[in-house]
Amino acid sequence: MTHNILKPVALLALFAASGTAGAQTVLNVSTWLPPAHGATMAQNQWCEAVEKESKGSLKCNLLPKAVSAPPGTFDAVRDGLADVSYTVDGYTPGRFIFTQVAEFPFLGDSSTATSVAYQRIYDKYFAPLGEHRGVKTLAVFTHGPGIIFTVKQPVASAADAAKLKFRIGGGNINELSKLMGWNTTLKPATDSFELLSTGVMDGTFFPDESLQSMRLGMVKYATTFPGGLYNTSFVFMMNKAKYDSLKPEERAAIDKVSGEYAARLFAAGWDRTDAASRDIQKTTGVQRQMANEAFVNEVKAKQAQLEDKWVAAAEGRGLKNARAVLAEFRAETQKLK
């Protein structure tokens, strides 16, 4: 009799164990960029890598719409509205200081070089200081070199730019624009189509790919700079409580495909879509010109002030020898060219 009672109990325990072994932990993933954008596709690739490394224990649920407007994404992930997402550090001015190291003029001509160098510097100097406290930082990265795009007239000088109104995304380009005397408004990338199509803004500062991903067919002129007029720092992040709740082997799977691995994923996507956009611009008649020496020198003159300001702010937040850190970042970027 006892033997017969135990049989179903044992079977129940077996089924419960099987269910636990096959259970998946779901990560709710949010993006505020279009599905075909390089950053969205890179995030999807990361999800595939996580599922593979965790042997199916972790799986991403791609949310049908963003859990927040771009400027609120950091707090949305911190508060658990999504488990994983990315955002632009400069969308919340003054909140993040160390990240601006990756946003200065003339840093590099590819997202890969700047992103990998940035990740290495971040791990070495910034991560221990916890500027992204409240979330688990999975990676940091940048877009490609920043360009001046305009609708109705080319920009051949700083004086030309001063006559126009521009949308910008925040960070160091916001500070540089103030020093240059330019009329700029801080708005998310996703607002660009409306601002340019309605004539509220005359142009925008963007990497190449954004002409396609943001549907900016009205843009007719581009002014490029060696190494970019600016760059933009992104953070790829996870809700810290969610990360801490995972099994050790699941955290190990995430760690393995984060850091430089993830930075390279996002950077490769950006470089690929930048190149594709340049090809499309040739067929759509966008007139491109490289800024002349005088224009570049005008920017360089203000860049020195910008760097001085950053050094003071970064050291005020506990970063030692900030100027040397900036020099090391530039040197690392050059090595990765």
Mean local confidence (pLDDT), 69-96: 96
Asked whether residue 5 carries a pLDDT value surpassing 60, the answer given is no
State how far the alpha carbon of 239 is from the alpha carbons of 24, 79, 133, 266, 272, in Å: 18, 7, 11, 19, 29
pTM, full prediction = 0.91
pLDDT confidence bin for 337, thresholds 50/70/90: confident
pLDDT confidence bin for 19, thresholds 50/70/90: very low
23-96+110-143+232-274 maps to which CATH number?
Answer: 3.40.190.170
Q: What is the mean pLDDT of the chain?
A: 93
Range(s) of the chain covered by CATH 3.40.190.170:
23-96+110-143+232-274, 147-230+284-335
Percent of the chain with pLDDT over 70: 93
Mean local confidence (pLDDT), 135-140: 99
Helices (H), 34-191: 38-53, 73-78, 111-121, 158-162, 172-180
Domain 147-230+284-335 matching CATH 3.40.190.170: the answer reads yes
Measured distance CA(164)–CA(197) in Å, rounded: 15
Asked whether residue 124 carries a pLDDT value surpassing 90, the answer given is yes
Q: If you count DSSP H runs as helices and E runs as strands, how many of each does the chain have, helices first?
A: 13, 11
Measured distance CA(84)–CA(265) in Å, rounded: 15
Tell me how far apart the terminal alpha carbons of the chain are, to the nearest angstrom.
Answer: 77
Q: Which of 13-22, 37-46, 218-227, 313-322 shows the lowest per-residue confidence on average (mean pLDDT)?
A: 13-22
Q: What pLDDT, on a 0 to 100 scale, did the predictor assign at position 166?
A: 98
Beta strand pairing call for 135-142 and 58-62: unpaired
